[in-house]
Structure 1
Amino acid sequence: MGHTANSYRSHTCGELRMEHVGQTVRLAGFLENLREVGSSFAFAVLRDFYGVTQLVIENEETLRMFKDLNKESTLAVEGVVRERDSKNPKLPTGDVEVVPARVEVLGRCRHNELPFQVNRSREADESARLKYRYLDLRNPAVKRNIILRCHVVSALRRAMTEQGFLEITTPILTASSPEGARDYLVPSRKHPGKFYALPQAPQQFKQLLMASGFDKYFQIAPCFRDEDARGDRSPGEFYQLDLEMAFAGQEDVFAVLEQVLPPIFAQYGTYSIASDAPFTRIPYLEAMEKYGSDKPDLRIDLTVADATALLADCGFGPFAGHTVKAVVVSDFSGTRKQIDQLCADVEVQAGEKAYWFRLDEQGELVGGISKFVQEKKDAVIRALGLQPNCFVGLTAGTRLTAQKTAGVLRNKLGNFCPGHMDRERYEFCWIVDFPMYEIGEESGALEFCHNPFSMPNGGLEILKRAAAGAVDPLTITAYQYDLVCNGVELSSGAVRNHDPEIMVEAFQLVGLGEEDVKAKFPAMYNAFTYGAPPHAGIAPGVDRMVMLLSGEDSIREVIPFPMNKNAQDLMMGAPSFVEPKQLDELNIQITAREDG
Structure 2
Amino acid sequence: MHAYRSHTCADLRQSHVGEGVRLAGWVHRIRDHGGVLFIDLRDHYGVTQVLCDPDSPVFDAAEGLRAESCIRIDGTVKARDASLVNPKIPTGGIEVYIRDMEVLGAAGDLPLQVFGDQEYPEETRLRYRYLDLRREAMQRNMVLRSDVVASIRRRMWERSFREFQTPIITASSPEGARDFLVPSRLHPGRFYALPQAPQQFKQLIMVSGFDKYFQIAPCFRDEDPRADRSPTDFYQLDMEMSFVEQQDVFDAVAPVIAGVFEEFGEGARVDAPETWPQIPFAEAMLKYGSDKPDLRNPIEMQDVSEHFRGSGFAIFAKLLEQEGTQIRAIPAPTGGSRKFCDRMNAFAQKEGLPGMGYIFWRDQGDGIEAAGPLAKNIGPERTEAIRQQLGLGVGDAAFFLGGKPQAFERVAAKARDVIGEELKLTEQDRFAFAWIVDFPMYEADEETGKVDFSHNPFSMPQGGHDALDGDPLDVLGYQYDLACNGYEIVSGAIRNHRPEIMFKAFALAGYDESEVRNRFGGMVNAFQYGAPPHGGCAAGIDRMVMLLAGTSNIREVIMFPMTQRAEDLMMNAPSEPTPDQLMELGLRVIPQE
Question: TM-score, structure 1 length as denominator?
Answer: 0.94
Q: Which one is further off, 559-568 or 388-397?
A: 388-397
Q: For residues 26-62 of structure 1, what are the alpha-carbon distances to aligned partners after superposition, in whole Å with 9 as ceiling and x for unaligned?
A: 11000111111224x1111110000111111112653
1:46 matched to 2:49? The reply is no
Secondary structure (helix, strand or coil) at the match of 2:182 reads strand
Query: Residue in 2 aligned with 1:557?
Result: 556
Secondary structure of the 1:540 match is strand
> 2:93 is matched with which residue?
95
Instruction: Tell me the CA shift for residue 340 of structure 1.
Output: 3.4
Matches within 5 A, 1:506-545: 506-545=505-544
SS in 2 for 1:161: helix
Shift of 1:516: 1.3
- What residue number does 2:65 align with? 69
Q: Which runs of 5+ in 1 are unaligned?
A: 467-471
Secondary structure of the 1:208 match is: helix
Counterpart of 1:126 (choices 119, 122, 125) is 122
1:469 counterpart residue number: none
Q: 1:441 Cα deviation (Å)?
A: 4.6
Answer whether contact 1:121 1:129 (CA < 8 A) is retained. no
Deviations 1:248-285 (A, max 9, x none): 12111100112111121011024532110222111111
Q: Which amino acid aligns with 1:381?
A: R
Could you say if the C-alpha distance between residues 27 and 318 of structure 1 is closer, same or farther in structure 2, counting changes exceeding 3 Å? farther
Once the two structures are TM-superposed, the CA of residue 122 in structure 1 deviates from its matched residue by 5.9
Report the counterpart of residue 342 of structure 1 in structure 2: 344
1:290 corresponds to 2:287: yes
Question: Is 1:290–1:304's contact at 8 Å kept on the other side of the alignment?
Answer: yes
| Residues 243 and 539 in structure 1, CA contact (< 8 A), matched pair in contact too | yes
CA contact (8 A) 2:336 2:360 kept: no
1:587, distance to aligned residue in structure 2 (A): 0.4
Rounded to whole Å, the distance in 2 between the matches of 1:495 and 1:352 is 42
Partner of 1:412: 418
Which residue of 2 is the match for residue 228 of structure 1?
Answer: 224
2:315 pairs with 1:318: yes
CA separation of 1:223 and 1:348: change in aligned 2, threshold 3 A: farther
1:209 to 205, 208, 223: 205
Structure 2 unaligned blocks of 5 or more: 321-325
Q: Give distance in 2, aligned partners of 1:461 and 1:443.
A: 26
Change beyond 3 A, Cα 1:352–1:276: farther
Matched to 2:91, the amino acid is T
- More displaced stretch, 532-541 vs 282-291: 282-291
TM superposition shift of 1:487: 1.1
2:29 to 33, 46, 49: 33
Q: 1:24 to 1:530 in 2, by over 3 A?
A: same
Separation of aligned partners in 1, 2:39 and 2:355: 57
Partner of 1:383: 389
Q: 1:424 aligns with which of 429, 433, 440?
A: 429
Instruction: Compute the displacement of 1:548 (Å).
Output: 0.7
Helix, strand or coil for the counterpart of 2:30? strand
| Other-structure match for 2:53 | 58
SS in 2 for 1:454: coil
Deviation larger for 488-497 or 272-281? 272-281
Q: Which letter maps to 2:133? A: L
Q: What is aligned with 1:243?
A: 239
- Answer whether contact 1:288 1:403 (CA < 8 A) is retained: yes
Q: Which residue of the partner structure matches residue 306 of structure 2?
A: 309
Q: How many residues align?
A: 579
**Is the CA contact (8 Å cut-off) linking 1:354 and 1:409 kept in structure 2?**
no
One-letter identity of the residue aligned with 1:332: G
Aligned twin of 1:372: 377
Give the superposition deviation at 1:305: 1.3
The whole-number CA distance in structure 2 between the counterparts of 1:351 and 1:215 is: 51
The equivalent of 1:354 in structure 2 is 356
Change (3 A) 1:377 1:191: closer
Deviation readout 1:558-586 (Å, 9 max, x if unpaired): 00000000000000000011211111000
CA deviation after TM superposition for structure 1 residue 65, in Å? 0.6
What is the CA–CA distance in structure 2 between the aligned matches of 1:316 and 1:9, rounded to whole Å?
77
Residue 21 (structure 1) shift? 1.4
Q: Following the alignment from structure 2 to structure 1, what is the Cα–Cα distance between the partners of residues 487 and 351?
A: 16
What SS class does the counterpart of residue 31 from structure 1 fall into?
strand
> What's the CA shift for 1:84?
1.5
- Work out whether residues 172 and 179 of structure 2, in 8 Å CA contact, stay in contact via their aligned partners in 1: yes
1:332 is aligned to: 335
Once the two structures are aligned, what percentage of the paired residues are identical? 48
Task: Name the CA distance, whole Å, in 2 between partners of 1:146 and 1:581.
Answer: 39
Q: Is the 8 A contact 1:290 1:305 kept in 2?
A: yes
Tell me by how many angstroms 1:217 deviates.
Answer: 0.6
Query: In structure 1, what residue type is equivalent to 2:234?
Result: F
Q: Deviations over 1:284-318 (max 9, x none)?
A: 11111122211111111111111100124333343
Task: State the shift of 1:369 in Å.
Answer: 3.2
Q: Alpha-carbon deviation of 1:121?
A: 6.2
C-alpha distance in 2 between matches for 1:78 and 1:334: 67
Distance 1:88 1:342 in 2: 48
Q: Secondary structure at the match of 2:18?
A: coil
Deviation at 1:339, TM superposition (A): 3.6
User: SS state of the match for residue 16, structure 1?
Assistant: coil
Q: Secondary structure at the match of 1:369?
A: helix
Give the superposed CA RMSD: 1.8
Q: Deviations over 1:323-351 (max 9, x none)?
A: 11111122236661x44343333454575
Distance 1:486 1:588, change over 3 A: same
